Structure 1
Amino acid sequence: MVPFETIRRGVLSAAVIAVAAACTPAVAQEVAPSHLAAARAAVDAIDSTEQFDNILMNAATQIKSDLIGSNPDIQPQISDMVDEKALALAPRRADLETEVSRIYAKLFTEAELQSIADFYNSDAGKKLLKQGPVASREMLAAADVWSNGIMRDLRRSSAEGMTQLLSQNGGGAGAPALPTTGAVDGGATSSSQ
């Protein structure tokens, strides 16, 4: 899995959870089993909870570290004990899957969820999940190049326009002072070109 993809999914899932939490009435709404099943299929298709796979392992590692720091003489026993306790909690992962499915069920109709699952289970959907982060990185790089070109050209044409304005208003000759990168140093700007 590409780290950027994991981040993207995390942001998407966090946004969905935040919106759902804000929109959730105080009384829990019942979701039809078929609607919940469609939500679960969509959640599985987009791997929206994959980013949470390491929560239990990371918690166990942190707790082991804390306990071993205080009791280094029984490190193997602590490690085994925490692993055993973590494995006992592993089935609770299903609770998270169910809750995320409920969130999606509140935000999307059953038909929409079926469409989402169908698309992301298709070859095109799988390719989008795999190649989407690559496309996003390349898109951001292209936008940076375009933005730099726009800034350069606007700076140049604005300097020319400023020269004309100054000459029309009896100002001095020469290129006007414009910041080269948009930065201002202590109130003074550096000239372009």
Structure 2
Amino acid sequence: MVSTSLRRGMLPIAAAVLWFATPAMAQDISPAHLAAAREAVDAIDATEQFDQILLNAATQIKAELIVNNPNLQNEISNMVDENALALAPRRGDLENEVARIYAKLFTEQELREIGQFYQSEAGRKLISQGPAASRDMMQAADVWSNGIVRDLRNSAQQGMRRLAPPAEASSAQ
């Protein structure tokens, strides 16, 4: 039987093996496949939702530092901005990782087709109008759902009256 401490010691080793094995699996993606994935990711604005992360982090860190050193507000703001700008090129790392994720899920041909569609007029419109359509769709689904629940409740209550008439009505007969 393996001791608990030995099993605990094996966990970091197993994690390290998985960590180092992942890049090897990622190398199975051809450069053309990865390029198609990058094109699709760019076309669908897949990482746009992450655009504010660095800006929000900088704003939060400035606020934290300025609270303790209000007399250094300008210096802190400039220093954090400089550091944030130095980190901005790392955005490419996210783009590459997201492209790898898409490359694992879709064939090169599928990615090219996705990229072509979303670069078309209809695809760009879908991206720009998609959030509004989703919002309106959820509102319509809520209205529909409420109506379904209401109608099912009413028909079930009517069915219950037929199954088990009120006690007063059956004793009056």
Q: Deviations over 1:60-98 (max 9, x none)?
A: 111111111111111111111111111111111111111
1:135 to 133, 136, 148: 133
1:154 to 140, 152, 155: 152
Q: TM-score, normalised by structure 1?
A: 0.71
Q: 1:45: which partner in 2?
A: 43
Q: 1:173: which partner in 2?
A: 169
Greater helix share, structure number? 2
| Count of matched residue pairs | 149
Structure 2: runs of 5 or more not aligned: 1-18
Cα distance in 2 between the residues matched to 1:148 and 1:162: 21
- 1:27 equivalent to 2:25? Answer no
Cα distance in 2 between the residues matched to 1:89 and 1:161: 66
| Secondary structure of residue in 2 paired with 1:47 | coil
Q: 2:72: which partner in 1?
A: 74
Percent pairwise identity = 64
Q: Deviations over 1:143-164 (max 9, x none)?
A: 2222222222222222222111
Q: What amino acid is aligned across from residue 56 of structure 2 in structure 1?
A: N
Cα distance in 2 between the residues matched to 1:148 and 1:58: 38
Q: Which has the higher contact order (CA 8 A, sep 6+)?
A: 2
| Secondary structure of residue in 1 paired with 2:80 | helix
Cα distance in 1 between the residues matched to 2:155 and 2:22: 60
Superposed displacement of residue 53, structure 1? 0.9
Runs of 4+ in 1 over 4 A off after TM superposition: none
Q: Deviations over 1:71-129 (max 9, x none)?
A: 11111111111111111111111111111111111111111110110111111111111
Cα distance in 2 between the residues matched to 1:104 and 1:161: 51
Superposed displacement of residue 54, structure 1? 1.2
